[in-house]
Copies of this chain bind each other. A is one copy, B any other.
Amino acid sequence: MNRYETLANAMADEIRSGRLPIGSKLPSIRQITTQHGVSQSTVLSAYYLLEEWGLIRAEERSGYFVTPGASVAPVETPRAQSLAESAKVDISSLVFSVLQATKHVGAVPLGSAFPSPLLFPLSRLAKSLNQGARTLNPWSTVADLPPGNEHLRRQIALRYVGAGIASPIDNIVVTNGALEALNLSLMAVTRPGDIVAVESPGFYAALQAIERLDLRALEIPVDPVTGLDLDALAAALDKHPVRACWFMTNFQNPTGVTLTDDKKRALVELLTAHDVPLIEDDVYQELHFGKTRPLPAKAFDTKGLVMHCSSFSKTLAPGYRIGWVSAGRYTERVQRLKLMTTLSASIPAQAGIADYLQYGGYDKHLRQLRNAFKSQLSSMQVALRRHLPARARWTVPSGGYFIWIELPDAIDAMALHQRAIEHGISIAPGPMFSATHSFQNCIRLNFGHPWSGQIEDAIRTLGDILVDPEMRATARHFRSCAADTEPTDGI
């Protein structure tokens, strides 16, 4: 026990025994310092604990007093809410409930948006971070304001060149992860009330951003095998004043589908014809199971219409919060929005990632990471075939770490989610991925964690729940995961 905890406990005893009665003023910090021979910060920490326990309360500048609740034994604030907390069926609550469930280290994280942090070279990265921080030019705290650390942007530009893509270093703006890159890009090209085309099913963060910025979502169907429905998009562009598109072209979240190069080219041509910018979320680009990295739509962009967003969070450095956007003709606007909202990404973190990219062996790490995901996918497929009902269907993704599963029509993924969290298992139910809460019978599972008996058991448990007659009784909707041929108008 720390010194301050010892002190806090001693004082708590004084309070509970009544020697320090309710409403009485506690000794001053100086008195305690002298009396107990401890430092001022120890007393402060102890008082803080007592306050947290609900035993004392600070009154403005006059000191600390024993609270009326002090006679009962202190109850520790529960550290986190119960996994089984009921989830309301609206996008934000649903998304936050699933995110909250994935914060429980104990839960089997099949619903998580993140791969296992154990797959990343965190100690090698710490070395690069240390190197970056120790050799940081103090003036870089000013010089590395957006667009960002030049060494890092050069390394990012090199990876574009390696893929045969022209992305001048001056078009790269470093951000707090891809999520900020996407949000800034969306802000750069829209005003409240504008219409934005998104995928259905698609990444819920797009829907949240649209809601937050008072935009309107137009959902374009995504087929789990062929991807975005370009005809539906073309029809939507003809019919509606679409101001921007937010799409994932590679290993799409949640379906895992990747557009062919021909489709990517056609997509860019279509948007160019309508002069509509594309916010391209390409965070899984490096996680390909095939031999070469798939191209982004950005590779076919000649007009600077594509804002290509990515990060190191899913491939190298979870938690460092370093991403970027290559923002084409919108670069200056994005850069200004960055300056206005969060000023800059963490400067030592930028320097650390730059150092790692140059010296840490990124490509070797990526090969290992891809192999891990690939092998975990195999195990996942075996388990799914073994434990899921015969009528469950899925498409095998060629990269990333998500698999999208269509369950029998009578299954309600929300009820499954509820039952699963009761068993300490998180899943991502289909309705999270649509503004209209479609995909009631679909779920997204994460295979980004080293395979284990616990995961195998979790899949078996899901299979057991699915054949429980009660599950069918709770099914309220009967929608298919198959893409409609008409765009769902979410306006």
Contacts and interface: CB of A to CB of B under 8 A. Distances in A.
Interface of A: 41, 44-45, 47-48, 51-52, 57-63, 77, 92, 96, 99, 102-103, 105, 112, 114, 117-118, 120, 122-123, 125-126, 129-130, 133-134, 136, 138-145, 154, 157-158, 161-162, 164-166, 168-170, 175-177, 179-180, 183, 187, 191-192, 205, 208-209, 212, 214, 295, 299-300, 318-322, 336-337, 339-349, 352
Given A99-B145, A126-B136, A129-B348, 4 more contacts: A103-B143, A103-B145, A191-B214, A319-B348
Contact of A51 (B141, B166, B300): B166
Number of chain copies forming the complex = 2
Nearest to A99: B339
Contact of A343 (B62, B176, B337): B176
Contact of A180 (B103, B318, B342): B342
A117 B347 CA distance: 13
B347 A92 contact: no
B336 A320 contact: no
Contact of A92 (B57, B144, B336): B336
A300 B58 CA distance: 12
Given A44-B162, A133-B125, A340 B177 contact: no
A45 to B, nearest CB: 6
Contact of A130 (B129, B175, B347): B129
11 contacts: A52-B169, A96-B336, A105-B142, A175-B342, A179-B341, A180-B341, A192-B214, A209-B340, A212-B337, A320-B348, A348-B349
A41 to B, nearest CB: 8
A142 B102 contact: yes
A34 B61 CA distance: 75
A104 to B, nearest CB: 9
A60 B321 contact: no
Contacts of A208: 340
Contacts of A77: 170
A166 B479 CA distance: 50
A319 B187 contact: no
Nearest to A345: B321
A139 B318 CA distance: 10
A158 B2 CA distance: 15
Contacts of A161: 44, 47-48, 51, 58
Nearest to A183: B341
A101 to B, nearest CB: 11
A202 to B, nearest CB: 15
A164 B48 CA distance: 10
